[in-house]
Structure 1
Amino acid sequence: MQPPRPVPLRHALIAAFALAAIAAAGWLAYVLALDAGFARMQREGNDRLALIASTFDATVARYRYLPAVLSLADPIRELYRDPQDAAAIAAANHYLKSLNQGARSAELYVLDSTGVALAASNFDQESSFVGYNYAFRPYFVDAMRSGEGHYYAVGATTGQPGYFLSHRITEGGKTLGVAVVKIDLSALEADWARAGDLVAMEDENGVIFLASRADWKYRPLLPVPAERLAELNAAQQFGQAIDAAPIFVPKSSRRGIEIGHARGRGNTELGEYALQIRPLDRGWKLLLFSDVVDARRNAATVAIAGMFALIALLLVVLVAYQRRQVVRAKLEAHDVLERRVAERTEELRRTLESLVQSAKLASLGQALAGVAHEINQPLAALITYVASSRVLLRRNEVDRAAENLDLMSSIAERMMALIDHLRMFARKETGSRSAVALAPVIDNAVRLLQYRIEHEHIEVVRIAPAEPLYSFANPIRLEQVVVNLLSNAIDAMRESERRLLRVALGSEAANAVIEVTDTGAGIAAEHVKLLFDPFFTTKEVGEGLGLGLSISYGIVREFGGDILVDSVPGRGSTFRVVIPLLDVAPASQHRELQA
């Protein structure tokens, strides 16, 4: 038996070079993917911060006028003319209580020039402000000095936190006192918590006073010197001592985002987070914390995929090299050997195609868990409503602005549900279903895209039956399907002179039919059969991942339906969503399912 032949030095060097190349490719892929993840996180965080900031400004703006209104009200003026008149005091108290109930503020009250409360909306409660002196509060000092003041603190009398806005009351050049409104901002904290955001607001001293986590309140973002902390505690702004333990320990910075560890109650470790900051008025700052675990996990996945891709490429090159050597040897042999070489080559080709298909399916499974492009349209709608609300608030159309806020809250809840559905789709789970009225689903989808429809100058034709149609489905996921089809139709008409979008709801036999027809460029016949394949798209690079129709098709199939396509190049396309009808009212169906 002959001893094994030593591996030539050349082969060893090639192997070492290959391993080094694989490691370098993996490291480079990880760094690039992590940078891309942080860039995406930065964009999404900036959008989220802008939305939260505008919501906060809108909330405060609703009450900013109240102190000035109080300074002009007749009952308040009468009170200042004779502060000892019992009838004037009673009239002012009842006026403040009525106005407070109508404005839905926390409290309204007026102070004399020495800071003593003359009348208050809570005059008939045990925690009444009447008779107490608030001259020590900065909002009183600022209003007396400059005409207006603001201050966030825990109430000295009620023990409840709030944002105080004040306005100086004058008559004939003489200062009479100060009018104050107290705003309860706890609803904002509740909204942040329900949305799943880690959001906090920092005051000009670096102390957190609003947060989606209760254990972050009245703690500094970063360490505060002991001397400064003692000064802040002496002011008793928050009715309790400020916890000196910071909530964030920065470790590094990437793409302008601070990365570090967040701390909970008792300095417990919450994990690694990226911190984004948006400055506000008054020296305050809005803080958004984003978990970086997903970004690092996705970057690691990309790096591993890149390494495997390089290994596969090297294997293909090696196989090709070996095959060429075998073919060269067998060409010199018998015809039988040539046939065997051809058969082996064909077998290797089929094996390689199978490996490529398996890799494609694995990539699909990975991509579905992180799909985010389906929420672009709701985000655009939110931005539109924010802009609209600002205009309405400038016009003092508070009721219409409140309606906008309700719509924005509804859209945000639908986006949260949509994200849950996408994750559930990646886990091969099904969402809960119930009897769904189809017309409102279409209405919501059109509403989400209204800004694009108007911006693109698209004429919309709506067709719906007189009687409501119902189907057993998930309303959020069905709306996702309609939004996707409408968005694709809008994109298809981008270069069309005549832009007509027809959205029809009807029934055929036992099925409900939703038709979306456009006058766009149409779809080539050879592309129609590929439309629902993952990653297939006819859009320009960077304008789509090719997953929208694939996801929509899966959703409709889950409901027991189908999506059909009819397209004429140059004239437009029609997508038909066909799902089973329910022949009973929703309430009856609910009782039947419960039984």
Structure 2
Amino acid sequence: MNKIVKQSIYLTCIGFVAFASSYLLSYRFFAAQLYDTSLVQLELYAETLKSKLFELRPLNKILSSHPAILIALENTDNNDLLVTTNKILLKSRNIAAASEVYLLNKDGLTIAASNAGSEGSFVGNNYSYRPYFIQAISGLSGQFYALGTRSNIRGYYFSEPIFEGPEIIGVLVLKVAIDKLENIIKNTDQKLLILDEFGVVFLSNNPEFLYRKTRLLTKDEEENITETRRYNDKQLSNLGMNPLNQFFRSNIVQLSDGDGRENYIKANLPIAVIGWDIISLTDEKTAVTPSIIIGLVAGLLSIFMYFLLVSMRARRRLQAEQMEFKNKQAAELERRVEERSAELKQVQDDLVQTAKLAALGQMSAAISHELSQPLTSITNYIANAKLYLSKREFDKVEQNIGYIAKLSDKMTAIIHHIKIFASKRPSEINRISINKVIEETVWFMQSKFQRREVLLEISLPDEDVFIWANNVRIEQVVMNLISNALESMQKSTIKILNIELSYNDDLATIIIRDTGEGIDEQSIETIFKPFYTTKEDEQGMGIGLSISRSIIEEYDGILEAFNRPSGGARFEIKLPISRD
């Protein structure tokens, strides 16, 4: 089969399937939405109709117990009483804006009416065949819909029995004209029909539907309509509303008229108490049109996606061919590179060995730098111990020996951790209090503060601030920064060392400020490089700050140096805080 023909068949099938499935899903969604919306509207119409229809019913009950009504029924031959009754009924009709109010005796004969004396007066007419009379004369409140036999006006009739003691002597009837109720359902694009219990349309916003049957009537139903003269001499024709039973088109009916056939979405709601049904018919095109648009978009999109997939496959095939060609070229290049790699390997190994030797040399120099301070302190404590021993002050001798033991332990720990640092083995990490680190470091160095006449200011939070680190190594960093600060203040007239600890949700910050000479602006970053020093006469080898920064960075921290505007230097250590 020709490739182009094959592709065309594929595209047609894909487009049709996408269109059909999208159309069906969209149609069911839109049709369901329209149906649900119609039901909500029908509920509002039904409540409004009942409210308007039944608002005058209480008037009929009140009038049925009026004394003049009772007297008129007892004296049907008294014209004066009947005239008075007619006036009462007329006044009541005018006040309530009812259609008509009339009084029947127990035989169904109208003896008084609100339209007495006018053309089409009910007086003298017998309505014993009407269901509302039959209901009331049986002792019940009656209600009935029908066309007026004289007025030919559609009305809803409420009837009440009139009692004289236990005996029913007449019936009072109130007629509500329902023509005005059509105004309630006029302003809508839907076709609205209100049916009686026999399925006959008697209210609609489309006059063509009036007095038409929506279903076949039984013989008994036809006889009932004739006997009660519900529609007078109106000929009831068939509406021709047929349901379409299709699996994806529920609640759809087909309406036949002179212009052809149209499909509608039908929603039906019974109106309680009255016994009517209200139906809305929404043009099916309201659901079909957007569904077709969505189906077309889905079909075109699926065809586009097919083209995209085909082009991507072709592109991948081309890339594979290009890759195969490049691999052949790379294989030849790789052979040549391997020849050079063997030569470069020896040079690379020599560079690695050189770097290792440089690192070992840096650590060896650090041992001397970091141990010089505790060794000096030990020498002082030994001299003090000899002096106290000669004075036989043994308690102070014992105290100084304790200090020497602590410093020896400190030196052992420093040597151990420098050894670990140099070999890149991980040091033991614990959850430590920075407050205690600062306090212990200051305690070990207090003799230096006194000798150099340095004023110490410490600001620590009341609660301990914890980090994850090695206790000895953090003490080493703090001690080194304090020592550097003391060295820088040797020539200063004002010697103040400020140590501050603060924290937030993420970081703990240690700030060490001095009033010394400060740092050369061009050397602020250089001071952290190995072997950089500003000390004269070979007093230092420039290792301390380099090691200190390395230690802080091992714990994901930052060590920075700044100059103070008022003179002196400021060092900041920032470390991640521990909340565990």
* TM-score bracket for this pair, using the shorter chain length: 0.5 to 0.7
Q: Which amino acid aligns with 1:308?
A: L
Q: Give 3-state SS (helix, strand or coil) of 1:252's partner.
A: coil
Specify whether residues 230 and 149 from structure 1 end up closer, same or farther in structure 2 by C-alpha distance, changes over 3 A only.
closer
What's the CA shift string for 1:358-405, capped at 9, x where partnerless? xxxxxxxxxxxxxxxxxxxxxxxxxxxxxxxxxxxxxxxxxxxxxxxx
User: CA shift at 1:241, angstroms?
Assistant: 3.4
Contact 1:222 1:249 in 2 (8 A): no
User: CA shift at 1:282, angstroms?
Assistant: 4.3
User: In structure 2, what is the equivalent of residue 278 of structure 1?
Assistant: 269
The answer to whether 1:293 aligns with 2:262 is no
CA–CA separation in structure 1 for the residues paired with 2:193 and 2:130: 24
Contact 2:198 2:221 in 1 (8 A): no
User: CA shift at 1:304, angstroms?
Assistant: 0.9
CA–CA separation in structure 1 for the residues paired with 2:219 and 2:261: 25
- Residue in structure 2 matching 1:324, options 312, 316, 322: 316
Specify whether residues 226 and 138 from structure 1 end up closer, same or farther in structure 2 by C-alpha distance, changes over 3 A only.
closer
User: In structure 1, what is the equivalent of residue 188 of structure 2?
Assistant: 195
Structure 1 or 2, whichever has the larger Rg, is 2
Q: Give 3-state SS (helix, strand or coil) of 1:124's partner.
A: coil
Q: Which amino acid aligns with 1:297?
A: T
Specify whether residues 187 and 255 from structure 1 end up closer, same or farther in structure 2 by C-alpha distance, changes over 3 A only.
farther
- More off after superposition, 279-288 vs 151-160: 279-288
- Residue in structure 1 matching 2:101, options 99, 108, 112: 108
User: CA shift at 1:86, angstroms?
Assistant: 2.5
CA–CA separation in structure 1 for the residues paired with 2:267 and 2:20: 26
CA–CA separation in structure 2 for the residues paired with 1:99 and 1:256: 52
CA–CA separation in structure 2 for the residues paired with 1:196 and 1:91: 49
User: In structure 2, what is the equivalent of residue 72 of structure 1?
Assistant: 65
Q: Which runs of 5+ in 1 are unaligned?
A: 1-5, 335-595
Q: Which amino acid aligns with 2:28?
A: D
Q: Give 3-state SS (helix, strand or coil) of 2:251's partner.
A: strand
User: CA shift at 1:210, angstroms?
Assistant: 1.3
The answer to whether 1:50 aligns with 2:43 is yes
Question: What is the TM-score with the length of structure 1 in the denominator?
Answer: 0.51
User: In structure 2, what is the equivalent of residue 303 of structure 1?
Assistant: 295
Contact 1:168 1:175 in 2 (8 A): yes
Identity %: 22
What's the CA shift string for 1:302-342, capped at 9, x where partnerless? 111111111111122222223334445566889xxxxxxxx
User: In structure 2, what is the equivalent of residue 27 of structure 1?
Assistant: 20
What's the CA shift string for 1:79-133, capped at 9, x where partnerless? 2232222332122111111111111111111111111112111113111111211
Q: Give 3-state SS (helix, strand or coil) of 1:72's partner.
A: coil
Specify whether residues 258 and 316 from structure 1 end up closer, same or farther in structure 2 by C-alpha distance, changes over 3 A only.
same
- Residue in structure 1 matching 2:75, options 82, 96, 110: 82
CA–CA separation in structure 2 for the residues paired with 1:61 and 1:111: 21
The answer to whether 1:269 aligns with 2:260 is yes
Contact 1:39 1:255 in 2 (8 A): no
Contact 2:14 2:299 in 1 (8 A): no
Contact 1:223 1:246 in 2 (8 A): no
What's the CA shift string for 1:562-585, capped at 9, x where partnerless? xxxxxxxxxxxxxxxxxxxxxxxx
Question: What is the TM-score with the length of structure 2 in the denominator?
Answer: 0.52
User: In structure 2, what is the equivalent of residue 260 of structure 1?
Assistant: 253
Q: Give 3-state SS (helix, strand or coil) of 2:115's partner.
A: coil
The answer to whether 1:244 aligns with 2:237 is yes
Q: RMSD of the alignment, in Å?
A: 2.6
CA–CA separation in structure 2 for the residues paired with 1:163 and 1:236: 14
Q: Give 3-state SS (helix, strand or coil) of 2:186's partner.
A: helix
Q: Which runs of 5+ in 2 are unaligned?
A: 327-580
Query: How many correspondences in the alignment?
Result: 325
Q: Which amino acid aligns with 2:307?
A: L
- More off after superposition, 319-328 vs 208-217: 319-328
CA–CA separation in structure 2 for the residues paired with 1:331 and 1:179: 102
Contact 2:102 2:174 in 1 (8 A): yes
CA–CA separation in structure 2 for the residues paired with 1:261 and 1:146: 45
The answer to whether 1:209 aligns with 2:191 is no
What's the CA shift string for 1:254-297, capped at 9, x where partnerless? 67953122244xx5536211221111234321111111012111
- List aligned pairs for 1:100-499, cutoff 5 A: 100-224=93-217, 228-229=221-222, 232-233=225-226, 235-252=228-245, 257-264=250-257, 268-269=259-260, 271-280=262-271, 281-328=273-320
Q: Give 3-state SS (helix, strand or coil) of 1:65's partner.
A: helix
- More off after superposition, 54-63 vs 269-278: 269-278
User: In structure 2, what is the equivalent of residue 545 of structure 1?
Assistant: none
Contact 1:216 1:247 in 2 (8 A): no
Contact 1:200 1:208 in 2 (8 A): yes
Contact 2:131 2:228 in 1 (8 A): no
CA–CA separation in structure 1 for the residues paired with 2:55 and 2:142: 16
Contact 1:109 1:129 in 2 (8 A): yes
What's the CA shift string for 1:175-206, capped at 9, x where partnerless? 02111111111122233223333111111122
Contact 1:221 1:247 in 2 (8 A): yes
